[in-house]
C-alpha cells in the first residue's frame, strides 16, 4: 500500500524534521517578542502602548501567507535582505520563514499574556509599586511570573496553531512537510488519500503530545486563587 | 427561536450544497458541449486573461482538435487542469481530454492514455537579457548559480534528482514569483520547459528583459491526455493533429505564441502514441 515510500525518492522524516525546527525556532522567537509586546501594551509610556496596539492589530489581522510571501518576495527577492544567510536559498528561506512566523504568532502570544496579566490582582502591582520597585521590576518579578502560570493552556493553543501554520512556509520554498506533500501529490496522484492521510497523521503526532503535555503542565502550575 | 435556528441551518445546508455542486455540476453537460482541460496560468501555452479570454498554443491546439471532433469553438468549456490533478480529472470524466503541457511518461501512461505528441519541449533556463555568461549543464550543479523553479514541478524534481543534485534551488508556488527575483538579481535563472519560459519572456510586460539560455536539459514531449482505453478518441485526436501540422495551422500557432521570445522551437514531432 505504501510502496511509493520504498522508492527512496521522498524523505518524509527529513521534511517533518524541518517542520519541527521551524516550530521550535519560531516558538522561542514568538515567546520572546510576544512578551516584549505585552510589556509594551501595559507599559506606562503612551508611545509604547500605541506601538504595541498598532503592531498587534495590524499583524494579527494580516494573513500569514501574505506576511511570509512579503518576507520572501519583498525583503529577499526585491531588497536583497538575506538575514546573514549567505547565498544558500535553503538557509535564507528558512530564516525568512522563521521571521514571518515570529512576527505573526508573537501577536497571539502577546494577547494571551495580556489576558494573564489581567488575572493578577491589581493590589499585587500596587503593593510592589509601594515598595519602590520600578515598572520593569514589578512586571518581571511580580506580575509576569503569575501571568505566565495562568496562560499555559492558551499558549499551548498558540504553539499548536504555530506547528500547523509552518506549512505556509512551503509557499516560499522551505522544504518542510507541506512542500513534500505537494511534490508527492504531483507524482503519486493515484495515492492522494494515502499521502494526505500520512501527512495529517504526522501533524497529529507532532501536536497531540504537545497539547497533552502542556495541558498537564497548566494544571500543575496554575495559581489557585 | 427554534424556527430561526432551523431556518439558519437550512440556509447553511443550502449554501454548502450549492458550493459543493458548483464544481462538478456542469461536468455532465450534454453532447453539444465538450470539456477540455488546459492550464489557466501559463502565458503562451494556456492562459485565462483578465477579460476571461483563453489564449495560448495549447488552447489553439485544443480548439483545432475539438473542431475536427465536430465541436464549434463556442461549444468548448475550458476547465482548469492543475498539474497534480490532471490524471484524476481524466479518470473522473471531468474532461474529455487535456492539453496542458502534459509530458508523456510511463508513470502517467499507467493511468491515462496519450495522443500525440504535438510539441517537443526541452528543459531550459531563463536568464536576464543582459546576462552574457555562457552556461553549461555543469554550471547548474554548483552552489554558485542560483536557480528558481516551482514546488512539485517536474523541472524542480529533475534538477534535484537527475542532473544537478547540488544545485542551489528555490521553489515558489508559481513561475511569476521567480521572475521578481530574476529581475532583481536575487536569482540567476528560472528553470522549466523552454516553451513555458518563452511564454513568460514573450509577455508584453517582460519583453526584452529575459532570454533563453538554450540548454537542452531534457526532452519533454507534450501529449494530449485522455481516458485510458479510449482508442477511438485517440485515433481521432491523432488524425486531427496530423491534419493541423499538414495544413500549416500548427506552424502558424507556434509562431504566433512563441515568436516574440526568439524561441527556436522544434518542428512538429512525429506522432508516436498510436494504438
User: DSSP readout, A90-152?
Assistant: HHHHHHHHHHHHHHHHHHHHHHHHHHHHHHS-HHHHHHHHHTT--HHHIIIIIIHHHHHHH-H
Percent helix, strand and coil across chain B, each rounded to 5? 40, 25, 35
Residue A124 lies in a domain: yes
Joined together, the cell numbers standing for residue B268 give 512538429
Residues in A 165-224 with any Cβ partner in B closer than 8 A: 170-173, 175, 179, 182-183, 185-187, 189-190, 192
CB-nearest partner of A189 from B87, B156, B184: B87
Looking at the partner chain, which of B83, B146, B169 has a beta carbon nearest the beta carbon of A186?
A: B83
Question: Is A5 contained in some domain?
Answer: no
How many residues can be counted in chain B?
275
Backbone dihedral region of A114: left (phi > 0), alpha (psi from -120 to 50 degrees) or beta? Answer: alpha
- Looking at the structure of chain A, the number of domains it has is 1
Look up the CATH number of the domain holding residue A53: 1.10.3720.10
| A2 in any annotated domain | no
List, run by run, the mean pLDDT of 10-residue segments along chain B (275 residues). 63 58 46 86 87 89 89 88 85 89 86 88 88 74 80 81 81 85 87 88 82 85 89 88 88 83 80 77
The answer as to whether A1 is a domain residue is no
Question: DSSP per residue over A12-70, as a string?
Answer: HHHHHHHHHHHHHHHHHHHHHHHHHHHHHHHSS-HHHHHHHHHHHHHHHTS-HHHHHHI
- pLDDT score at A201: 95
Task: Provide the pLDDT for residue B265.
Answer: 82
With beta carbons under 8 A apart, name residues in chain A contacting B173. 171
Question: Could B186 and A76 be called an inter-chain contact, meaning their C-beta atoms sit closer than 8 Å?
Answer: yes
Residue A180 counted as domain residue: yes
On whether the CB atoms of residues B161 and B169 are closer than 8 A, the answer is no
Cell 524523505 belongs to residue:
A11
Residue B27: per-residue pLDDT: 43
Report the distance separating Cα B109 and Cα B87, nearest Å. Answer: 10
Does residue A3 lie within any of the structural domains?
no
Q: Do B180 and A87 touch (CB under 8 A)?
A: no
Find all residues with CB under 8 Å of A178, minimum gap 6, and list them: A167, A168, A169, A170, A199
Establish if A133 belongs to a structural domain: yes
Domain boundaries, position A209: 12-221
Name which of A4, A66, A77, A183 to mutate to probe chain B: the one with the most chain B Cβ atoms within 10 A of its Cβ: A77
Residue A4 lies inside a defined structural domain of this protein:
no
Do residue A88 and residue B143 have CB atoms under 8 angstroms apart?
yes
Per the CB < 8 Å rule, is B177 touching A73?
A: yes
Cα–Cα distance for residue pair B189/B191, rounded to 1 Å: 6
ipTM of the complex: 0.72
CA distance A188 to chain B (A): 9
pLDDT given at position B24? 43
Query: Digits of tens for pLDDT over chain A (225 positions)?
Result: 677 777 777 889 999 999 999 999 999 999 999 999 999 999 999 999 999 999 999 999 999 999 999 999 888 888 888 887 677 888 889 999 999 999 999 999 999 999 999 999 999 999 999 999 999 999 999 999 999 999 999 999 999 999 999 999 998 888 899 988 988 887 777 788 899 999 999 999 999 999 999 999 999 998 877
Verify whether the Cβ–Cβ distance B181 to A76 is below 8 Å: yes
Amino acid at each position: 500500500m505504501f510502496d511509493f515510500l520504498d522508492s527512496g525518492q521522498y524523505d518524509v522524516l527529513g521534511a517533518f524534521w524541518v517542520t519541527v525546527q521551524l516550530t521550535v525556532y519560531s516558538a522561542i522567537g514568538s515567546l520572546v517578542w510576544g512578551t516584549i509586546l505585552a510589556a509594551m501594551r501595559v507599559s506606562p509610556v503612551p508611545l509604547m502602548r500605541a506601538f504595541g496596539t498598532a503592531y498587534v492589530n495590524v499583524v494579527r489581522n494580516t494573513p500569514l501567507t501574505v506576511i511570509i510571501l512579503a518576507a520572501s518576495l519583498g525583503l529577499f527577492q526585491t531588497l536583497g535582505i538575506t538575514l546573514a544567510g549567505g547565498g544558500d536559498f535553503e538557509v535564507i528561506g528558512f530564516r525568512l520563514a522563521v521571521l514571518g512566523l515570529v512576527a505573526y504568532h508573537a501577536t497571539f502570544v502577546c494577547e494571551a499574556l495580556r489576558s494573564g496579566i489581567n488575572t493578577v490582582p491589581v493590589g499585587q502591582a500596587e503593593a510592589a509599586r509601594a515598595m519602590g520597585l520600578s515598572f520593569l521590576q514589578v512586571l518581571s518579578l511580580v506580575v509576569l511570573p503569575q501571568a505566565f502560570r495562568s496562560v499555559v493552556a492558551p499558549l499551548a493553543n498558540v504553539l499548536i496553531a504555530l506547528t500547523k501554520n509552518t506549512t505556509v512556509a512551503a509557499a516560499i520554498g522551505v522544504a518542510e512537510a507541506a512542500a513534500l506533500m505537494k511534490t508527492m501529490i504531483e507524482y503519486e496522484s493515484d495515492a492522494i488519500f494515502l499521502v494526505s492521510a500520512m501527512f495529517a497523521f504526522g501533524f497529529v503526532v507532532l501536536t497531540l503530545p504537545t497539547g497533552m503535555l502542556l495541558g498537564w503542565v497548566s494544571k500543575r502550575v496554575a495559581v489557585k486563587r | 427561536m427554534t424556527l430561526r435556528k432551523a431556518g439558519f441551518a437550512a440556509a447553511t445546508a443550502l449554501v454548502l450544497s450549492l458550493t459543493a455542486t458548483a464544481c462538478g455540476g456542469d461536468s455532465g453537460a450534454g453532447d453539444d458541449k465538450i470539456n477540455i482541460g488546459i492550464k489557466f496560468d501559463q502565458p503562451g501555452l494556456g492562459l485565462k486573461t483578465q477579460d476571461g479570454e483563453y489564449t495560448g498554443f495549447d488552447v489553439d491546439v485544443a480548439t483545432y482538435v475539438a473542431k475536427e471532433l465536430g465541436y464549434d469553438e463556442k461549444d468548448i468549456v475550458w476547465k482548469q487542469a492543475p498539474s497534480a490533478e490532471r490524471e484524476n480529472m481524466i479518470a473522473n470524466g471531468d474532461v474529455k481530454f487535456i492539453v496542458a503541457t502534459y509530458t508523456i511518461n510511463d508513470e502517467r501512461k499507467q493511468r491515462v492514455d496519450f495522443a500525440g505528441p504535438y510539441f517537443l519541449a526541452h528543459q531550459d533556463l531563463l536568464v536576464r537579457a543582459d546576462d552574457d555568461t555562457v552556461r553549461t549543464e555543469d554550471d547548474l550543479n554548483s552552489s554558485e548559480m542560483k536557480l528558481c523553479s516551482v514546488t512539485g514541478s517536474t523541472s524542480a524534481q529533475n534538477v534535484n534528482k537527475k542532473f544537478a543534485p547540488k544545485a542551489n534551488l528555490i521553489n515558489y508556488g508559481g513561475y511569476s514569483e521567480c521572475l521578481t527575483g530574476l529581475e532583481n538579481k536575487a536569482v540567476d535563472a528560472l528553470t522549466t520547459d523552454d516553451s513555458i519560459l518563452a511564454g513568460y519572456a514573450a509577455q508584453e510586460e517582460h519583453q526584452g528583459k529575459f532570454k533563453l539560455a538554450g540548454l537542452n536539459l531534457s526532452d519533454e514531449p507534450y501529449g494530449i491526455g485522455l481516458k485510458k482505453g479510449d482508442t477511438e478518441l485517440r485515433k481521432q485526436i491523432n488524425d486531427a493533429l496530423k491534419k493541423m501540422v499538414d495544413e500549416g495551422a500548427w506552424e502558424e500557432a507556434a509562431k504566433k505564441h512563441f515568436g516574440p521570445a526568439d524561441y527556436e522551437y522544434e518542428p512538429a514531432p512525429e506522432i508516436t502514441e498510436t494504438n
